[in-house]
């Protein structure tokens, strides 16, 4: 139990659909990051939110969007799903502007696009 | 572009053997972190190394940060089946966004 909870744990969607993934933290960190991890690969940075504002973005198209709420929970939204979006999506708290400090990851949401 | 390359990608050994995993880059990193990930779980932080030449020990695991802060290694002594998992090195991106750059990972299988 890491204190970072993601839901749902597994999800199957059809190509072209939209999906919303959720993340909450027991510690109430004001920084949350989202990563995409393809099978057998390391996680890839999607974006980070700090105090409800996007604070940085990786090489992902605009159909990947996010929200952070006043209680510091977060959502990742993906529109117009493609087959290549099938992956494990990880939420992480901590780090902030000091990425030398460690991150706490949730267990992830396994998304399968068919 | 900052990249981290890990080697080997896969490692299958017998219980009791020693092993070393390498994490290399052509870029300088202010720090490097090592994570371990089990199937169906997120990565769990093992250690952060910050100073060039730094060596940190965590029980049977020894982590080293290269003098030039471009590489790191993880050495496991007398591996056990419980060490099985995906080992990831990661370092902060150059922009001040808290972005972590991960290597592609090393899958370790320790057979009893």
- B102 contacts on A by Cβ (under 8 Å): 35, 42-44
Q: Are strands A74-78 and A19-25 parallel, antiparallel or unpaired?
A: antiparallel
How distant is the Cα of A38 from the closest Cα of chain B, in angstroms? 10
pLDDT band at B88 (very low <50, low <70, confident <90, very high): very high
Euclidean distance between CA atoms A26 and A56, whole angstroms: 23
Q: What are A41-93's pLDDT values in tens digits?
A: 999 999 999 888 998 899 999 999 999 998 889 999 999 999 999 999 999 99
Averaged pLDDT score across all residues of chain B: 94
Of B100, B109, B1, whose CA–CA distance to A90 is shortest?
B100
CA–CA distances in Å: residue A66 to residues A2, A62, B74, B101: 22, 10, 35, 20
Residue of B nearest to A91 (CA): B42
pLDDT band at A101 (very low <50, low <70, confident <90, very high): low
- A35 contacts on B by Cβ (under 8 Å): 100, 102
């Amino acid at each position: 139990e890491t204190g970072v909870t993601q839901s749902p744990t597994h999800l199957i969607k059809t190509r072209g659909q939209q999906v919303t993934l959720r993340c909450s933290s027991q510690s109430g960190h004001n920084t949350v990051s989202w990563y995409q991890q393809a099978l057998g690969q390391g996680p890839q940075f999607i974006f980070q939110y700090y105090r409800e504002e996007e604070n940085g973005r990786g090489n992902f198209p605009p159909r990947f969007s996010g929200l952070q709420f006043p209680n510091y929970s977060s959502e990742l939204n993906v529109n117009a799903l493609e087959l290549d979006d099938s992956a494990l999506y990880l939420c992480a708290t901590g780090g902030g502007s000091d990425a030398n400090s460690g991150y706490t990851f949730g267990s992830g949401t396994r998304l399968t696009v068919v | 572009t900052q990249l981290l390359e890990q080697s080997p990608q896969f490692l299958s050994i017998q219980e009791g053997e020693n092993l070393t995993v390498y994490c290399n880059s052509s870029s300088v990193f202010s720090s490097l972190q090592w994570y371990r990930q089990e199937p169906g779980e997120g990565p769990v932080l093992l250690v952060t190394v910050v100073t060039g030449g730094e060596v940190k020990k965590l029980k049977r695991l020894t982590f080293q940060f290269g003098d030039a802060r471009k590489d790191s290694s993880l050495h496991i002594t007398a591996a056990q089946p419980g060490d099985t998992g995906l080992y990831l090195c990661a370092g902060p991106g150059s922009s001040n966004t808290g972005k972590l750059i991960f290597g592609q990972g090393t899958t370790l299988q320790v057979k009893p």
